[in-house]
Structure 1
Amino acid sequence: MRQTMRWICVSCLAALLALPAAAWLAETDKGRKKIVHVMEDESGLVIVQTAPGKVLTHRGGTIILPCHYHHEPEDTDPGRLRIKWTKVTDSLMFEDVLVALGHQQRTFGTFRGRAFLQGSDSGDASIAIHNVTLQDYGRYECEVTNDMEDDTGFVNLDLEGVVFPYHPRLGRYKLNFYDAEKVCKDQDAILASYDQLHAAWMEGLDWCNAGWLEDGSVQYPISKPREECGKKEAPAGVRNYGYRHKEDELYDAFCFTSNLNGKVYFLKTYRKMNLAEAMAMCQKDGSEIAKVGQLYAAWKLQLLDRCEAGWVQDGSIRYPIVNPRARCGGPEPGVRMLGFPDKKYRLYGVYCFRKNNDTGQDFGNEITRKGQSGVKSAKTHYTSDRLEPSNI
Structure 2
Amino acid sequence: SWVYSVSFKHLYQIEIPSVTSVFSVQYPYLPVVDCIYFNGIRLHVESHQHLVSATRGSSVTLPCHYRYEPEPTEPRRTRVKWSWLPANTITSNEAFPLETEVMVAMGNRHRSYGSFRGRVRLRRSAPGDMSLVINELQLNDTGRYRCEVIDGLEDESVTVELEMRGVVFPYNSPKGRYHLNFFGARQVCLDQDATLATLEQLLTAWEDGLDWCNAGWLADGTVQYPITVPRHGCGGRSLAPGLRSYGQKHRLLHRYDAFCFSAAIKGDVYYLSYPGMLNFTEAAQVCATDGGQVAKVGQLYAAWQLKGLDRCDAGWLADGSVRYPIRKPRANCGPKQPGVRSFGFPAPHRKFGVYCYK
TM-score between the two structures when normalised by the length of structure 2: 0.86
1:120 aligns with 2:125: yes
For 1:77, the aligned partner's letter is: P
Which SS does the other structure have where 2:268 is aligned? Answer: strand
Q: Please, which of 52, 55, 64 is the counterpart of residue 55 of structure 1?
A: 52
Contact 1:51 1:155 in 2 (8 A): no
Task: Provide closer, same or farther for how the CA distance between residues 201 and 17 of structure 1 changes in structure 2, counting only shifts above 3 A.
Answer: farther
1:40 aligns to 2:38 (yes or no): yes
Shift of 1:52: 4.5
Corresponding pairs, count: 324
Please say if residues 49 and 63 of structure 2, whose CA atoms lie closer than 8 Å, have aligned partners that are also in contact.
no
- Aligned-partner residue type, residue 74 of structure 1: P
Equivalence for 2:247: 242
Deviations 1:43-73 (A, max 9, x none): 9532211234411111111111000111355
- C-alpha distance in structure 2 between counterparts of 1:40 and 1:279, whole Å: 69
Deviations 1:180-228 (A, max 9, x none): 1111111111111111111111111000001111111111000111102
Residues 1-392 of structure 1: pairs in structure 2 closer than 5 A? 18=31, 40-41=38-39, 44-71=41-68, 74-78=72-76, 80-89=77-86, 90=89, 91-343=96-348, 345-354=349-358
State how far apart, in whole Å, the 2-side matches of 1:241 and 1:340 are. 27
More helix by share: 1
Q: Give, in whole Å, the separation in 2 of the partners of 1:17 and 1:227.
A: 71
Quick one: which amino acid aligns to residue 285 of structure 1? Answer: D
Q: Structure 1 residues 17 and 351, CA, compared in 2 at 3 Å: closer, same or farther?
A: farther
Amino acid across the alignment from 2:353? G
Q: Given that residues 39 and 45 in structure 1 are in contact (C-alpha distance below 8 angstroms), is that contact kept between their aligned partners in structure 2?
A: no
State whether residues 329 and 338 of structure 2, in contact with CA within 8 Å, keep that contact through their aligned partners in structure 1: yes
Code of the residue aligned with 1:133 in structure 2: it is: Q
Three-state SS of the structure 2 residue aligned to 1:241 is strand
Higher relative contact order (CA 8 A, sep 6+): 1
Deviations 1:304-359 (A, max 9, x none): 0000000001100000000111201121110000010111x1111110011xxxxx
SS of structure 2 residue aligned to 1:201: helix
Q: Which string of whole-angstrom CA distances, capped at 9 and with x for unpartnered residues, describes residues 257-290 of structure 1? A: 1111011000011121111211111111011110
The one-letter code matched in structure 1 to 2:255 is L
Q: CA deviation at 1:21?
A: 8.4
Tell me the amino acid that sits aligned with residue 162 of structure 1. V
1:229-270 C-alpha deviation (Å, 9 max, x unpaired) = 111221111111111111111111111111110110000111
Quote the offset at 1:14 in angstroms: 5.5
- 1:16 Cα deviation after fit: 11
Amino acid in the other structure paired with 1:46: L
Cα RMSD, aligned residues only:
2.1
Equivalent position SS for 2:332: helix
Contact 2:65–2:131 (Cα < 8 Å) also in 1 = yes
Between the two proteins, what is the percent identity of the paired residues? 47
Q: Distance in 1 between matches of 2:225 and 2:122?
A: 39
Cα contact 2:50–2:159 (8 A) shared by 1: no
What code does the residue aligned with 1:297 have? A
Shift in CA distance, 132/39, structure 1 to aligned 2, threshold 3 Å = farther
Which AA in structure 2 matches 1:306?
A: R
Indicate how the Cα distance of structure 1 residues 71 and 287 shifts in structure 2: closer, same or farther if over 3 A, else same.
same
* Farther-moved stretch of structure 1 (315-324 vs 67-76): 67-76
C-alpha contact (below 8 Å) 1:226/1:232 kept by paired residues: yes
2:5 matched to which residue of 1? Answer: none
| CA shift for structure 1 position 122 | 1.6
Q: Structure 1, unaligned stretches of length 5 or more?
A: 1-12, 23-37, 355-392
Cα 1:336–1:46 change in 2 (3 A) is: same
Change (3 A) 1:16 1:117: farther
Q: TM-score, normalised by structure 1?
A: 0.79
